[in-house]
Amino acid sequence: MTSQQPKYEYVSSAKLPTRLGNFRIHGFVEASGQEHVALSYGDWKESDVVPIRIHSECLTGDALFSTRCDCGYQLEKAMANMVEKGFGVLLYLRQEGRGIGLLNKIRAYNLQDAGMDTVEANEHLGFDADLRSYDICKLMLEKLNVNKVELMTNNPRKVAALEKLGVEVVARKPIDHGITKDNKHYIKTKTEKLGHAFDPHLFKD
């Protein structure tokens, strides 16, 4: 009998100084070969409620400063919140475009330029509205000695996903979204079609 292949492998960690503070970066790889990282800040005890964010990769928003989504703003805000709190963890999952990949996301952007919303564009390309998986999160949190979390998110589905995995979510903390004229419709779609929790007054003209 062969042993079951592990769901992930912890690779290594290193210091990661940033303009927001001095973090540590931790590398993980799934059995499929997909790579993910976690950022940790500060120290905590096993019994502490640790503020965390699950952030799906968004090259355009995180690295190229796009304002047609709120991803880059939320990434920076989450890291700043961790520094302000004194400790925390950010799980950075490599699942671009809600899991459809970078080039398909660009195709979806093209369809959005022609009038579709983000959900309609993904579905027009033959994908579900959201293909992301959070299964690796519990394993990453266990490696980082995180047992109870305060989840920084506007997406209640992430809370449900963690609870289904057996992670104790003590609270959901809304995270600022950085609304702009370019992403207002995108955020409105996330609220109406994907169940994100935003104040409806944000969308009044």
Is 19 among the annotated ligand-binding positions?
A: no
Q: Does one domain contain both 42 and 101?
A: no
Q: Is 48 a catalytic residue?
A: no
- pTM for the predicted model, two decimal places: 0.86
Inside any domain, residue 6: no
Q: Is 132 a catalytic residue?
A: yes
Q: Does one domain contain both 74 and 103?
A: no
* Mean pLDDT score across all residues of the chain: 86
Q: Does one domain contain both 139 and 62?
A: yes
Catalytic annotation, pick one of 132, 172, 176, 182 = 132
Catalytic annotation, pick one of 130, 172, 176, 182 = 130
Q: Does one domain contain both 54 and 84?
A: yes
CB 38 within 8 A of CB 149: no
Inside any domain, residue 70: yes
Of the residues 76, 111, 131, the one at which a domain ends: 131
Q: Each residue of 165-201: pLDDT tens digit? A: 999 999 999 887 667 776 666 666 666 555 566 554 4
Is 185 among the annotated ligand-binding positions?
A: no
Give the sheet arrangement for strand 49-56, strand by strand: 8-17, 22-30, 35-41, 88-93, 49-56, 148-152, 168-173
Question: Residue 42 maps to which CATH number?
Answer: 3.40.50.10990
